[in-house]
Amino acid sequence: LMQLSIPLNFIGFIYREIRQGLTDIEQMFDLLDVEQEVKDKPNAKALQIDRGTVRFDNVQFAYDPKRPILKGVSFEVPAGKTVAIVGPSGAGKSTLSRLLFRFYDIQSGSISIDGQDIRDVTQESLRSAIGMVPQDTVLFNDSIAYNIRYGRVSATDEEMRNAAELAQIGPFINTLPEGYQAMVGERGLKLSGGEKQRVAIARTILKAPPILILDEATSALDSATEHEIQSALDLVSRDRTTLVIAHRLSTIIGADEIIVLKDGVIAERGTHTKLLKIKGLYASMWNRQREATEAEERLRRVQAED
Ligand code: ATP
């Protein structure tokens, strides 16, 4: 019986390894929300990045033909600038980022990068030009070093550590007994939402893409963590064409343009100051968030006094 149990244990071990591998892949696909297959044109060329200007031109899109999500959306993210998308939940903000990655093809209009329609270039070249810091980062069951290096596998140890420092996750890693070799993920260390996001930022710093999509987490982070993440994000997005899908308006005050999406169209657009002046949707969202933050702070003060 002993002789049998060893191979059986071993098979169990192999089985769990494979299952785990599959789970990682499943999570990855969930994250990317891949459903529909988009194919390269037979004569597709590699995307040629000049300075990385992104244009959405009268974009119409629906996941389900009966329910249009975008009804003619046009905007430009000039090279090196930051445009933030805000709007009520379900307005189609994250959809814009999926369309830029070309996970779906649009029904009409066009999306282009440096004048090239994204349907005319290879998906590989398109996706390698865009970096994404998602709401929720998938971590692999591997070392923290592996998870960061995933941004650019050829990166040296030093480059990987520099990226971690810039993303403000270095000091945290140095407190771990095994440092960069610490295992993370399902079977290892569980990282908090803020720590995972910093791993994603470090990956993006290593990848150094000309175009960046920041999909801000909906979940509230404590203000110290939020501050650290914000400064890491400001650093990665500097001089890089950046599209921010924003939930917390406090993080986008400095955006070159803010676009307010509602019911499939652009309801308002402009800088923070301009949008507050017109006292429309943005201004009311801003006031609501400010009141909520103030109420939270009051509550915290009262609790601290008790
Ligand atoms: P939130 O602020 O809540 O994240 P959002 O503005 O980013 O919202 P999207 O995720 O872009 O909203 O979704 C826009 C609409 O499209 C939603 O009503 C959603 O239900 C729908 N939708 C999103 N993904 C799919 C999908 N894969 N298939 C069908 N409908 C979808």
Amino acid in position 214: L
Contact at 8 Å (CB) between 122 and 44?
A: yes
Nearest-CA residue for ligand 1 atom 1 is 89
Compute, in angstroms, the gap from residue 69 CA to the centroid of ligand 1.
8
Give the C-alpha separation, 133 to 11, whole Å. 37
Compute, in angstroms, the gap from residue 261 CA to the centroid of ligand 1.
13
281, with CB counted inside 10 A (0-12, 13-18, 19+), is: middle
Give the C-alpha separation, 18 to 10, whole Å. 12
3-state helix, strand, coil in the chain (%, to 5): 45, 20, 35
Compute, in angstroms, the gap from residue 157 CA to the centroid of ligand 1.
39
Q: What is this model's ipTM?
A: 0.97
pTM, entire model: 0.82
Give the C-alpha separation, 205 to 86, whole Å. 25
Other C-beta atoms closer than 10 Å to the C-beta of 258 total 23
pLDDT tens sequence for the chain (306 residues): 555 555 556 666 555 555 555 545 545 555 555 544 789 999 999 999 999 999 999 999 999 999 999 999 999 999 999 999 999 988 999 899 999 999 999 999 999 999 999 999 999 999 999 998 887 788 899 999 999 999 899 999 999 999 999 888 999 999 999 999 999 987 778 888 888 889 999 999 999 999 999 988 666 567 777 777 888 888 888 889 999 998 888 888 999 999 999 999 999 999 999 999 999 999 999 999 888 888 888 888 888 887
